[in-house]
Amino acid sequence: MDFSEWEPLYTTILDDLGIDRGADERGRDRLAALTTSFDLDRLALTGEAVVIVGGGSIGDDAQIGRFDRVIAAGGGIKHCQQTGTAIDLAVTDLDTDPETVVSLTRHGTPVAVAAHGDNIPAVERYVPAMDRDNVLPTTQAEPVAHVVNAGGFTDGDRAAFLADHCGAGSLTFLGWEFDDADVNPMKSRKLQWAKRLLRVLEQRRHERFSVLDEYRTAVDTDDLKNHS
Ligand SMILES: Nc1ncnc2c1ncn2[C@@H]1O[C@H](COP(=O)(O)OP(=O)(O)OP(=O)(O)O)[C@@H](O)[C@H]1O
Ligand SMILES: Nc1nc2c(c(=O)[nH]1)N=C(CO)CN2
Question: Is 199 touching ligand 1 by the criterion CB < 6 Å?
Answer: no
Give pLDDT tens digits for 4-48: 999 999 999 999 999 999 999 999 999 999 999 999 999 999 999
Give pLDDT, residue 219. Answer: 79
Task: Please state the pTM of the whole predicted model.
Answer: 0.95
If one counts the domains in the chain, the total is: 1
Identity at 94, one-letter amino acid code:
L
CATH number at residue 205: 3.90.1480
Q: Does the beta carbon of 114 lie inside 6 Å of ligand 1?
A: no
Containing domain of residue 119, as a range? 3-224
10-19, 85-94, 117-126, 219-228: the lowest-pLDDT one: 219-228
Ligand nearest the Cα atom of residue 141: 2
ipTM more than 0.85? yes
Give the contacts of 199 (CB within 8 A, at least 6 positions apart). 212, 215, 216, 219, 221, 224, 228
pLDDT digits (tens, 9 = 90+) for 15-25: 999 999 999 99
Beta carbons within 10 angstroms of residue 89's beta carbon: 25
- Whether pLDDT at 226 is above 90: no
* CB of 19 sitting under 6 A from ligand 1: no
Three-state SS string over 204-225 comes to HHCCCCHHHCCCCCCCCCHHHC
Q: What whole-number distance in Å separates Cα of residue 168 and Cα of residue 161?
A: 10
Provide the pLDDT for residue 223.
52
- The span from the CA of 75 to the CA of 54, in Å, is 7
Question: How far apart (Å, rounded) are the C-alpha atoms in residues 219 and 96?
Answer: 27
